[in-house]
Amino acid sequence: MSLTKTHHRDTYPTISPTKPSLSQVGKTVLITGAASGIGFEIARSFAKASAARIIISSRKISSLNAAVEKLRNEFQSSGTEFITRQGDIGDDSSIIALWDYLDSQNIFVHVLVLNAAHVTPFGPDTLSMDKQELMQTFDVNVGGNFLMSSRFVKQLLRPAGQQLNLVFVSTAGIQRHPAPAQNPYTTSKAAFTALLGRIADERSAEDVQIISFHPGLLHTEGVVSYFGQNLPGFDEMALPADFSVWAASPEASWLHGRFVWAHWDVDELKADKDFCTQLEQEKGFLKVAVQGLGGVSFDSYFD
């Protein structure tokens, strides 16, 4: 699953958060699912990029408190302010309360990183799953992320002409997990990735820059609990964490609305003339679609 000869398993200079062109100075960053795992590492990377304020959100207050203590200790001399907000993106009232709180505190968010996800149910047979559990996955991974995105773009404190950056940590590129661990997680992630592609068609990168990316295979508590310790080839957390910072920078604007893998070397991609031509000419390139078909637009029905 690589469009470049170089397949990264760890961070590299082009996406380093200490790179001046990726600086997040003066910006407020909100990260969901940030109490542990990749979300926590993404918070560290944005702190390395000198973000003014980082808001980490998660369901468990105890985990949030532990995470923010670690962040404050590590970056105590950086000037970055860390804020915790307990919340559940599967609950509309919780999302509304989060954004209402930010408005009340006169906090404007420049960057939203959607990392929180619902990964169950698992089972050997899709049609044997419980409908309520199935829909809960879509309520979080599609509905919750949609409402978070909508409130982000429509912030009351947003100055006219202020660009926003939305980064979605997706696994849309994985078709299925090894049996018996079939679940609707990747299907729901693909659905929201497709929805973001549509939103990107409607809104320019100058309005809200949108990048969806696959983070790779990471040694997280969730992955280990379902698949065990012996999966080969874990990637370093720094790769997707630093890639998130790059994706929220002007350097990634040419991938607006597309789905990419953190493994791919971004320098090779940008230097590939054929790739860039395909990106420019095919609206459906690197977007969720039916396998085997090129980009199909509504206008094609009238040709």
Question: Does residue 212 have an active-site annotation?
Answer: no
SS3 18: coil
The closest alpha carbon to 155, from 88, 106, 204, 210, belongs to 106
- Decide if 216 contacts 261 (C-beta within 8 A): yes
The single residue of 58, 185, 212, 244 carrying the catalytic annotation is: 185
The single residue of 45, 170, 188, 249 carrying the catalytic annotation is: 170
Question: Does residue 58 have an active-site annotation?
Answer: no
The single residue of 27, 48, 188, 189 carrying the catalytic annotation is: 189
Report the C-alpha gap between 258 and 26 in whole angstroms: 26
- CB within 8 Å of 176: residues ≥ 6 apart: 182, 186
Report the number of secondary-structure helices (H) and strands (E) in the chain. Answer: 10, 7
The closest alpha carbon to 112, from 133, 132, 89, belongs to 89
Question: Does residue 185 have an active-site annotation?
Answer: yes
Q: Which helix (H) or strand (E) holds 165?
A: strand 164-169
Report the C-alpha gap between 107 and 130 in whole angstroms: 40
Catalytic residue numbers read 170, 185, 189
